[in-house]
Amino acid sequence: MGNINKSPDPEGRAKYLVVISLDGLSSADLKIIKELPHFKEILESGSHAREVIGIYPTLTYPIHASIITGCYVQKHGIVANTRLQPGREKPEWFWFRKEIKVPPLYDIARSAGLKVGTLLWPTAGNAKVHYNLPEIIPTKPRQSQLWLVLSHGTPLFILDILRRFGRLLKGIKRCNLDNFVAASASYLIRFKKPDLLLIHLLDLDATRHRSGFQSAEAKRVLKEQDVRLGQIMKAARDSGIFRETAFIILGDHAYLDVHHRININTALHHAGLISLDGRGKLSRWKAWANACDGSAQITLKDRDSKSDRDCTFKALMELKNNPHAGIEAVFDRKQILEMRLGDSIDFILEAKEGYCFTASSGKKLIEPAKTDHRAAHGYLPDRKGYSSLFLASGAGIKKGVVLHSINIVDVGPTLAALLGLTLPEADGRILTEILKFKPQQKEKESL
């Protein structure tokens, strides 16, 4: 894990690493982005994987934890986007670094003496890095967005970029937020030159949820993301570090279009596992479902109660056997362990194509999908046509290597290798096929 020497690396590793997570970038987008100028430059000068297979559930926060640790959920502990908080209308998300159970790359880089920046990187709140703009939003009444960001990030840095680029925000629309993040990233590259910069851009995900997976609006946003990518690449050129920088651009998940939503806690209410008061608020629960869009995680309050477990399993199987309920599969604890999700969940439901889950408990079981939620993710990662993309170019990266398929847990070890570091807890392997040098970490097979 030694320090990185800033003189030219005789082994050809990168001096600087820029990782851009385009939330929602899919394998299906390759045919579009290969015609866009900055994506095209990355593709033609570097290597890429046509399919990146995610982890379960295919949600932003678990996947980004896997990217930055190289681990499956059972090790890193981020089981969903949101915490299990029964009855709460807006559960808190896994915003904070302390919730990752193994060392992420940004910790290891910082310990090795490298300068690190994170811009809206999931689960990086309170991370001890040099430049941290955390992704965190209010979930309680009267919470201040600005206060949350300042108190869980790097306040002087955040105030500086707000002064310089705050005019780009124009509210909190994702497109404006992406413009702000791209400008902030370019500023960091030009004037601070972080050794590791992790960037999370959001608008493609928001657009696909709102408009559908392959909508015209999504295709427009891909063009806008190409402009932002070019802006960041230009900053590296202008600062004189372009040839010493490796660029990694990747997606975290794909989507399935949806037409109906399953209010899953309604089924648990009907089974007597949830009780509501006169206002329709939760008063008692034996089992609760944390909705994960394309899947739902059910946890028992008393996990040692055989009667509660049997009653819950019976209710879930009755739901699955109802052809109109939209349930594809029911998984029990043994199967969940085999999926490397850890032991904190008792059952998982997988939705059929066209269906997604909500945590509602007082409405009809099945309702039409909301007009602003026309595509979903969170499903099993091995569904057909449900993979994301991985692009790599620049220092330390071979030209012209095309991998058919990799796993998302392979990304973290490869990022670490580019900086001469290792992720000791990683489940994935280093993608040696795309590297110009022999990495320190022993290659191992993806699991």
pLDDT score for 38 = 98
pTM over 0.85: yes
270: which 2 tokens? 């009907």
> What are the pLDDT digits (tens) for 145-161?
999 999 999 999 999 99
What is the spatial order of strands in the sheet that 355-358 belongs to?
Answer: 355-358, 260-263, 366-368
pLDDT score for 4 = 35
Picking from 241, 247, 188, 248, the residue whose alpha carbon sits closest to that of residue 6 is: 241
pLDDT score for 9 = 61
What is the Rg, in whole angstroms, of the alpha carbon atoms belonging to the chain? 22
- pLDDT(6) > 80: no
For residue 166, give the DSSP letter: G
Going along the chain from its start, the domains and CATH numbers come out as 16-255+383-434 (3.40.720.10), 257-376 (3.30.1360)
Let me know if 247 is exposed, middle or buried by CB neighbors in 10 A (0-12, 13-18, 19+).
buried
State mean pLDDT over 358-383. 94
Residue 443: pLDDT band with limits 50, 70, 90: very low
pLDDT score for 157 = 98
